[in-house]
Amino acid sequence: IAGITQAPTSQILAAGRRMTLRCTQDMRHNAMYWYRQDLGLGLRLIHYSNTAGTTGKGEVPDGYSVSRANTDDFPLTLASAVPSQTSVYFCASSEGLAGGPDTQYFGPGTRLTVL
Amino acid sequence: GQNIDQPTEMTATEGAIVQINCTYQTSGFNGLFWYQQHAGEAPTFLSYNVLDGLEEKGRFSSFLSRSKGYSYLLLKELQMKDSASYLCAVTDSNYQLIWGAGTKLIIKP
C-alpha cells in the first residue's frame, strides 16, 4: 500500500510558467488537501476537497487551482508561477470530511523553486 | 485573528523527559492535534485531544485544557530518533485546521 504519492519530488520552474503538482491516494479517503510549508510558518491550507467533484478554498488559495475528478487524484495547478510560490507542497488525505477528528495522512512533499 | 504559539526550538538529553507547550487563540475549538515531522519528511500523526485531560500513548502523552487554550506534548525516555519538529494544530469553529509553526526538538546524547 503506497498511501499518498506526489510528483514531482522537486522542481525548478521559471516565473510565468504553468505547473501541475500531482497527488494520488490509494486509501479511498474522502477528503484531500493541499498545503504549503514555509520556513518559520505553520502549514497553510491552499485548497481542499471533501469528495469527488467538490473543492473548497483554504487560507491561501490565490494563484492556485485544484480539481477532483475522482476519489484518488487531486492535482494542484499553478497557472502562472511567481517566486513567492517557492515552497514545499504537501498533499494530504483523511477518511472523514475536512475539519473532522480524523487523522490526516501526508504525502512526501514536492519542493518547488520558482526563479 | 487566529494564533497558535509554540516554542521555536528546544533541546533535551537522551533518556530525559521534555514537555512541548502549545497555546492557542482560535474562533472556537473542535479538537487539537499533535504531529511529528522529521527533517525533509512529511508530518505524521501523534495524538488528538478534544476533551480536557491527559491522553497517554506509550512514551508520548498529550494534555489539553480548553479553558486555558493550552496543550502540551510530553515525551518520556527520549531517544535520538525523537529529534524532529512537533506541530500543534487546532480545529476551529468553522472546522478549519489551524497549524502552529512547530517546535524543533534537538536531542543530545
Report the relative pairing of strands B44-49 and B18-25 from DSSP bridges: unpaired
Gap between the Cα atoms of B22 and B62, Å rounded: 11
Taking only the tens place, the pLDDT of each residue in A83-98 is: 999 999 999 999 988 8
User: Chain A residue with minimal CA distance to B48?
Assistant: A101
pLDDT above 90 coverage of chain A, percent: 87
Taking only the tens place, the pLDDT of each residue in A20-40 is: 999 999 999 999 999 999 988
Question: Is A43 close to B43, i.e. CB distance below 8 A?
Answer: yes
Residues 38-77 of B with CB under 8 A from A: 41-45, 48, 50
What is the mean predicted confidence (pLDDT) over A28-56? Answer: 94
Pairwise pLDDT comparison (A65 vs A96), residue with the higher score: A65
pLDDT at A12: 97
Name the one residue in this structure whose C-alpha cell is 471533501: A50
pLDDT at B105: 98
Looking at CA atoms only, how far is residue A101 from chain B in angstroms?
A: 7
User: Which of B31, B41, B101 faces A42 most closely, judged by CB atoms?
Assistant: B101
Gap between the Cα atoms of A21 and A12, Å rounded: 12
User: Omega of the bond prior to B109 within 30 degrees of 0, cis?
Assistant: no
Q: Does B102 contact A at CB distance below 8 Å?
A: yes
Question: Hey, is A41 helix, strand or coil?
Answer: coil
Q: Please provide residue A85's backbone torsions phi and psi, each rounded to the nearest 5 degrees.
A: -90, 5
pLDDT at A44: 94
pLDDT at A1: 57
User: Which of B42, B97, B101 faces A106 most closely, judged by CB atoms?
Assistant: B42
Pick the closest to residue B88 from B80, B97, B96 (CA basis): B97
Gap between the Cα atoms of A101 and A103, Å rounded: 7
Question: Is B97 close to A101, i.e. CB distance below 8 A?
Answer: no
What the block records as the C-alpha cell of B107 is 536531542
pLDDT mean by block of 10 residues, chain B; 109 residues: 92 98 93 96 95 95 97 98 97 87 96
pLDDT above 70 coverage of chain A, percent: 99
Q: Please provide residue B81's backbone torsions phi and psi, each rounded to the nearest 5 degrees.
A: -70, -10
